[in-house]
């Protein structure tokens, strides 16, 4: 990706969902939809947040080489790896769900106990260490970073 991408007009999720309930598929300006490319997603995210990849990989507790590979899309990561990255970046729930959608690893669901605990932790600003202790306290599996 060269330079900053043109700003996309933000689509309203509820509006689009209502349109998809209609009789025919709506005409749409596809340039305003989210780009599912993992590398572009992370490039934009790091531009917006101002973090360095190396710092986030270290905070996420993921192997350095593997961390770079899953962020540039050359290897697919496990859902827990992407969640560790989200916690390291202190992403809110909306951006975490978007990260999980772009990486095709499945969103968090509030009726699944472990997911509910993770959602709670995101909403309360937990870091990876506090999340680990919280999940252990609830007798739930902590996030797998591949380094344990």
Residue reference for tokens 């990989």: 57
Domain count of the chain?
A: 1
Q: Are 89 and 51 in contact (CB under 8 A)?
A: yes
Q: Is residue 4 a part of any domain in this protein? A: no
Q: Taking each helix axis as running N to C, give the angle between helix 93-102 and helix 113-123, from 0 to 180 degrees, rounded to the nearest 10.
A: 130
Residue reference for tokens 């600003």: 125
42-87 confidence digits (pLDDT tens): 988 898 888 999 999 999 999 999 999 999 888 988 999 999 999 9
Q: Is residue 104 a part of any domain in this protein? A: yes
Q: Are 141 and 114 in contact (CB under 8 A)?
A: yes
Task: Read off the pTM.
Answer: 0.79
Q: Are 87 and 56 in contact (CB under 8 A)?
A: no
109-138 confidence digits (pLDDT tens): 999 999 999 999 999 999 999 999 999 999
Report the C-alpha gap between 84 and 90 in whole angstroms. Answer: 10
What residue numbers bound the domain in which 128 lies?
36-137
Q: Is residue 112 a part of any domain in this protein? A: yes
């Amino acid at each position: 990706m060269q330079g900053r991408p043109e700003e996309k007009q933000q689509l309203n999720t509820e509006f689009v969902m209502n349109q998809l309930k209609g009789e025919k598929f709506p005409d749409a300006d596809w340039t305003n939809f989210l780009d599912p490319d993992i590398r572009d997603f992370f490039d934009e995210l790091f531009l917006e947040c101002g973090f360095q990849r190396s710092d986030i990989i270290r905070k996420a507790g993921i192997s350095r080489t593997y961390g770079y590979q899953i962020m540039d899309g050359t290897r697919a990561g496990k859902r827990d790896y992407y969640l560790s990255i989200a916690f390291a970046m202190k992403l809110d729930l909306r951006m975490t769900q978007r990260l999980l959608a772009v990486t095709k690893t499945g969103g968090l669901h509030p009726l699944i106990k472990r997911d509910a605990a993770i959602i709670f932790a995101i909403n309360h600003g937990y870091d990876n260490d506090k999340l680990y202790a919280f999940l252990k306290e609830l007798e739930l599996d902590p996030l797998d970073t591949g380094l344990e």
